[in-house]
């Protein structure tokens, strides 16, 4: 069925997007255009159903060639942000069609979400994924795997007064659990979510005085559950650890 265009006409100028005054290397021009158009879509400056301005107007607004605009629109289409409607132009899609695991899209959503809703959702999804992997790892871990995890927990215990060293050991603990789980898809998704979230200062929020002590207790509990062969407990502790850590450092709205 042929799609009907939006009732709203395309605006000749997208508000809030200046021309690229300082010229970066040619390869970066398209990256900047994609980033700015993504921001405009995520923030609602361009709403679902809106048509992008025609190529000549976009080239004028950004100060780039038509080739850069065409390639940028292709990148937006790959991210699910727009769809090309034959005979009508390029239309912004509904958020349900966006690729939320795309680094540019996810980063833009985190950056422009003052209510922290996307970080709340991200934390919950990550907690579900990692708890499932922890349960799988508890069932599949060898004695050597458990010994390696125990060594990392020992490093964490010794580094309670060294935040950076503690966090580095913490990351290795989680990475090893993912490897032991033998799940091929979930680790990639979990790492993508954590990487994008970690780029935002909002994700780090406040740092409670007892955060490292609480984190160590959860890791020791997970290790103990694995040693006891209690996959369900290990799974539950990982979920509570990730969700609880986020809730403890989550900043109040407006800060």
* Model confidence band, residue 68 (pLDDT cutoffs 50, 70, 90): very high
Predicted pLDDT at 12: 44
pLDDT tens profile 239-255: 999 999 999 999 886 55
What is the second-level CATH architecture of the domain 26-100?
Answer: Orthogonal Bundle (1.10)
Distance CA 108, CA 48 (A): 16
Secondary structure (DSSP) of 124-175 = HHHHHHHHHHHHHHHHH--HHHHHHHHHHHHHHHHTTT-HHHHHHHHHHHHH
Distance CA 181, CA 196 (A): 23
Domain limits, the chain: 26-100, 113-249
* Model confidence band, residue 3 (pLDDT cutoffs 50, 70, 90): very low
Average pLDDT, the chain: 90
Q: Report which listed range, 5-14, 57-66, 138-147, 188-197, is most confident.
A: 138-147
pLDDT tens profile 202-242: 899 988 889 999 999 999 999 999 999 999 999 999 999 99
pLDDT tens profile 174-208: 999 999 999 999 999 999 999 999 999 889 998 88
In total, the chain counts a number of residues equal to: 255
Give the pLDDT mean for 130-141: 98
Structural contact between residues 38 and 102, judged by C-beta atoms closer than 8 angstroms:
no
Predicted pLDDT at 209: 86
- State the residue for tokens 């605009």: 69
Predicted pLDDT at 226: 97
Structural contact between residues 199 and 107, judged by C-beta atoms closer than 8 angstroms:
yes
Predicted pLDDT at 24: 60
User: Which CATH entry fits the domain spanning 113-249: 3.40.1160.10, 2.40.10.220, 1.20.120.530, 3.40.50.2300?
Assistant: 1.20.120.530
* Model confidence band, residue 63 (pLDDT cutoffs 50, 70, 90): confident
Closest CA to 223 of 160, 159, 167, 145: 145
- State the residue for tokens 């010229």: 23
Predicted pLDDT at 22: 52
* Model confidence band, residue 8 (pLDDT cutoffs 50, 70, 90): very low
Predicted pLDDT at 88: 84
Secondary structure (DSSP) of 8-24 = SPPPSS-TT-----S--
pLDDT for 19 beyond 80: no
Strand pairing partners for 85?
A: 89
Give the pLDDT mean for 102-117: 93
The count of other CB atoms within 10 Å of the CB of residue 107 is: 19
pTM value?
0.82
Predicted pLDDT at 255: 52
Predicted pLDDT at 97: 97
* Model confidence band, residue 11 (pLDDT cutoffs 50, 70, 90): very low
The count of other CB atoms within 10 Å of the CB of residue 114 is: 9
Give the pLDDT mean for 104-123: 94
Predicted pLDDT at 1: 41
């Amino acid at each position: 069925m042929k799609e009907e265009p939006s009732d709203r006409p395309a605006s000749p100028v997208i508000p809030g997007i200046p021309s690229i005054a300082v010229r970066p290397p040619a390869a970066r021009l398209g990256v900047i255009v994609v980033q700015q158009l993504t921001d405009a879509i995520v923030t609602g400056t361009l709403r679902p159903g809106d048509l992008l301005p025609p190529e000549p107007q976009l080239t004028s607004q950004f100060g780039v060639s038509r080739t850069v605009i065409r390639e940028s629109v292709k990148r937006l289409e790959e991210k699910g942000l727009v769809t090309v409607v034959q005979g009508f132009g390029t239309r912004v899609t509904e958020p349900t069609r966006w690729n939320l695991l795309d680094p540019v899209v996810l980063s833009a959503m985190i950056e422009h979400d003052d209510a922290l809703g996307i970080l709340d959702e991200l934390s919950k999804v990550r907690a579900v994924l990692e708890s499932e992997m922890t349960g799988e790892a508890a069932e599949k871990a060898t004695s050597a795997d458990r010994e390696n995890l125990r060594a990392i927990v020992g490093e964490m215990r010794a580094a309670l007064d060294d935040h950076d060293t503690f966090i580095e050991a913490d990351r290795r603990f989680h990475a090893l659990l993912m490897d032991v789980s033998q799940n091929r898809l979930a680790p990639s998704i979990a790492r993508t979510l954590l990487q994008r979230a970690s780029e935002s200062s909002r994700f780090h929020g406040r740092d409670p005085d007892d955060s490292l002590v609480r984190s160590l207790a959860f890791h020791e509990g997970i290790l103990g559950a694995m040693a006891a062969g209690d996959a369900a407990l290990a799974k539950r502790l990982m979920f509570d650890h990730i969700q609880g850590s986020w809730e403890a450092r989550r900043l109040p709205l407006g800060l």
